[in-house]
Structure 1
Amino acid sequence: MNRPAWAETSDLLREYYDHEWGLPVRDTPGVYERITLEGFQSGLSWETVLRKRPAFRAAFAGFDPATVARFGQADVERLMTDAGIVRNRRKIEAAITNARATVALTAAGEDLAELVWSFQPADPGDGVGAAQSPESVALAAALKGRGYVFVGPVTMFALMQAIGLLEHRLP
């Protein structure tokens, strides 16, 4: 398999690239999970987040937005003591805020996955080597307008690549 250089640096990244990166994720819990993990990755290596992914899944109720949306201050404090995850208060609170925004989006008759996929560019190969695109800027603005946080254009560009909106790969 012809992998990019970043995917050749460890077995964990090779496995992620070979079996997940760039493959379509079209369900709301899956997209919510990726938004959350991309937010936690900000300022860190993706490998660090992937290594902690099982602990993140346990800490955030399998990334079920309805469950995470009910988290309160006691849950934030509990998560701040969980050595298995990245213990950053702003990022933990962002995960909860984004779960609440996802629940509100659903209540308004919208679907997070459909919303995100509506920003797929006409040419998914555009932007190779870029850090953001007009579509990631627009997606970030659309999500922020719906109450999401930690969803800047660069983070959304990475999300779009990871879930198959850009540089689409067939399973």
Structure 2
Amino acid sequence: MTRVDLKAAVIAGTVAGVASGLVKLGWENILPPRTPERDQTNPPQRLLEQLGVPEKVTHATYTYSNQQMPWVSFMIHFGFSTSFALLYSVAEHYAPVIRAGQGTLFGLGVWSAFHLGIMPAMGTVPSAKDQPAEEHFSEALGHMAWMWTNHIISDEVYRDLTNTK
């Protein structure tokens, strides 16, 4: 078995997570998963509120180009993205099956677990049957694109760091 350079895998996953977080944000600008009404408090904001974080914090923004940008939501978004990219980048060396479909099946699994199971069970989002088809479509494909990005970038960065081209 080839020795895994854990430090390189962690760095690769972190880099991939930031980049893939940007990809996922871009995806949601093209195919918004939620209606404007449902997005007034988005899932990251709702989750934090469920944990007792006050609305004045969860809805905190910064201004850029005359637009209010939800920095707290972005922190949760990039934290989630980077955590799963890091997990994927390390785990793929020990359980290569998660690489199936270049990470797209792993992305579908994450979407299914969180958007169809965990978050509805917690009351963070409506039950899967009460979510619009557009939300399922956007989130499922977005998670596939997100994890494919993680796969491509983490593999390339890992190879560069370990000189294993």
TM-score under structure 1 normalisation?
0.37
- Ranked by relative contact order (alpha carbons within 8 Å, sequence separation 6 or more), the top structure is 2
TM-score under structure 2 normalisation?
0.37
- Name the one with the larger helix percent: 2
